[in-house]
Amino acid sequence: MSRHVVATVDEIAPGTCKIVAVSGREIGIYNVHGEFHALVNRCPHEGAALCLGPILARFTADRPGKYRLTRHGEMLRCPWHGWEFDIKTGQSWCHPESVKARTYPVEVVAGEALAKGPFVAETVPVSVEQQYVVVEM
């Protein structure tokens, strides 16, 4: 699994999402109360652009007519058929045992850490012998 810089922290305010393209896939990067989460922008139901849906609270009811909203800003509703997903886990609340949106690990890294980076391109020794350039691998 490779790492990709997708945004600065300032670009994604709490309660919002930024859709980015990484390796040919659209990913929604969400800021949920200061924590960042990533979901693939494709609904597991019929393939809608899931991350274009509204960010919501979880709606629960103990009995008819008695409802409450919890987990504000942690749920996402698909724009096509209204299935709801937990932004942190990708879990569907329509078929929680079998349907889940793909999630990806997200981390916030200090800029200087990225400048140093753990990424080092592989190098190989090169020498010139007579008129030939030789690469060792």
Cβ atoms of 137 and 122 within 8 Å: the answer is no
When the beta carbons of 93 and 104 are compared against ligand FES, the nearer one is 93
Number of residues that bind ligand FES (CB under 6 A): 8
Residues 44-73, mask of contacts with ligand FES (x by CB under 6 A): -xx-x-------------------------
Helices (H), the chain: 111-116
80 in contact with ligand FES (CB under 6 A): yes
Order of strands, sheet of 84-86, starting from the edge strand that comes earlier in the sequence: 55-63, 66-77, 84-86
By CB under 6 A, the residues from 81 to 100 that bind ligand FES are: 81, 83
Among residues 78, 72, 70, 73, the alpha carbon closest in space to that of 100 is found at: 78
* Helices vs strands, H then E, count in the chain: 1, 9
When the beta carbons of 47 and 117 are compared against ligand FES, the nearer one is 47
43 in contact with ligand FES (CB under 6 A): yes
At residue 52, the 3 state secondary structure works out as helix
When the beta carbons of 32 and 101 are compared against ligand FES, the nearer one is 101
Which of these ranges, 24-32, 55-63, 79-87, 129-137, lies near ligand FES under the rule CB under 6 A? 79-87
What is the DSSP-derived secondary structure letter of residue 93? Answer: S
At residue 132, the 3 state secondary structure works out as strand
Q: Residues in the site for ligand FES, rule: CB under 6 A?
A: 43, 45-46, 48, 78, 80-81, 83
